[in-house]
Structure 1
Amino acid sequence: MKYTVRTAFASDISRIKILIEKSVRGLSAYDYTQEQIEGALLSAWGLDTQLIKDETYFVVETENLLIGCRGWSYRATLFGNDRKKDRNPDILNPAINSAKIRAFFIKPRYARKGIGSMIMQQLARSCRNQILRTPLDDTKRPRLRSSLDTRTCP
């Protein structure tokens, strides 16, 4: 099966929201109660459309089917969807702050097939490209910070 990673567009929003709900309900049921899942979908888990506007949110498709999504941010908001009340759109200072890897969601039947890793590689490339568009020297680069990679973007 061929997978394609690409930048998410505003036209993807409705499909991304459906994917997120299926991912959370399907893959989180072993770790959380139904009440916790539904509560998290109201604010903590979900789509932050600012990432789409910033062109730092990505989707994975196969045969026009959306199967994964994930983003990174250079803004102060750490997590949450558009309904989260205490969002902070301020741009981080790359001299002292790290780029933030945001939650990722995979369609349950595609879990553990490397989709999350594919998106993570794209996030690293995107972070490097963002840095190149920013007048920063190597000592002031934003760092990707995730459970997979705590190094400065190469």
Structure 2
Amino acid sequence: MTERTPVLRVATRSDVPGIAELMRRSVLDVFPHFHDERETAAAARYLTEPDTALIDDGTYFVCESDGQIVACGGWSKRDKLYTGSGDLPTDDRLLDPATEPARVRAMFVRGDRTRQGLGRAILAECVAAARAEGFRSLVLMATMPGVPLYRSFGFRDVRRTEVPLPNGVVLDGLSMEYPLSG
């Protein structure tokens, strides 16, 4: 049976179980190429919880193929930078598009579907939507598996950083930005 071309669409609450399954599978498939076993296990536990605020805001997308979610990701007009960063009182604060960048959030692609343009298609949707809302730039906190995609899309490195997880494991991270003007 031939796989159909993936359909990119806005995620709904009914997608949450499929998104969670994809996130975990993606981490377990892709992270071992960049992280050790302990780091991969921690990422699979702490970075794979779907953020329903993104879904409720209509800023989260899924790529679906043959009834399965094979990629997901989105952007946020809220202050939270990434899942796993802990809960802060300002997480739900709406950003000011004139002075603050929108956030790219929770990008995952199934291991057997990487390098097929799915992440790039989601990023293009994020750019168009954030630009339409008046944002002037996007920022993200990349884990190492995402860096090649973000760089090839045009994101610029800002600074290397660490992504501490609740169990004490620390992942290498890279803060990145993408201008929406000009």
Q: TM-score range by the shorter chain?
A: 0.7 to 0.9
**Alignment partner, residue 163 of structure 2:** none
**Alignment partner, residue 173 of structure 2:** none
Q: Distance in 1 between matches of 2:98 and 2:132?
A: 17
**Alignment partner, residue 19 of structure 1:** 22
Q: Distance in 1 between matches of 2:52 and 2:111?
A: 22
1:27-82 per-residue CA deviation (whole Å, 9 max, x = no partner) reads 0012112221222233344321110011100000112221000010111111015x
Aligned pair in 2 of structure 1 residues 85, 42: CA closer, same or farther (>3 Å)? Answer: farther
Q: Is the 8 Å Cα contact of residues 73 and 101 (structure 1) preserved in structure 2?
A: yes
Does residue 43 (structure 1) correspond to residue 46 (structure 2)? The answer is: yes
Q: Distance in 2 between matches of 1:33 and 1:86?
A: 29
Identity among equivalent positions (%) equals: 26
Pick aligned residue for 2:78 from 75, 80, 92: 75
Does residue 105 (structure 1) correspond to residue 99 (structure 2)? The answer is: no
**Which 10-residue stretch deviates more, 42-51 or 60-69?**
42-51
TM-aligned CA deviation for residue 90 of structure 1: 0.8
Instruction: Report the structure, 1 or 2, having the larger strand content.
Output: 2
SS at match of 1:104: strand
Q: Distance in 2 between matches of 1:41 and 1:71?
A: 19
**Alignment partner, residue 145 of structure 1:** 139
Q: Distance in 1 between matches of 2:47 and 2:65?
A: 27
Taking only aligned residues, the RMSD between alpha carbons, in angstroms, comes to 2.1
**Which 10-residue stretch deviates more, 34-43 or 102-111?**
34-43
TM-aligned CA deviation for residue 152 of structure 1: 1.9
**Alignment partner, residue 88 of structure 2:** 86
**Alignment partner, residue 13 of structure 2:** 10
SS at match of 1:103: strand
* TM-score w.r.t. length of structure 2: 0.71
SS at match of 2:179: coil
* TM-score w.r.t. length of structure 1: 0.82
Q: Distance in 1 between matches of 2:83 and 2:93?
A: 15
Q: Is the 8 Å Cα contact of residues 98 and 142 (structure 1) preserved in structure 2?
A: yes
Q: Is the 8 Å Cα contact of residues 97 and 133 (structure 2) preserved in structure 1?
A: no
Residue 89 of structure 1 aligns with an amino acid whose one-letter code is D
**Alignment partner, residue 33 of structure 2:** 30
Stretches of structure 1 that go unaligned for 5 or more consecutive residues are: 132-140
TM-aligned CA deviation for residue 153 of structure 1: 5.2
Stretches of structure 2 that go unaligned for 5 or more consecutive residues are: 141-149, 156-177
Q: Is the 8 Å Cα contact of residues 101 and 136 (structure 2) preserved in structure 1?
A: yes
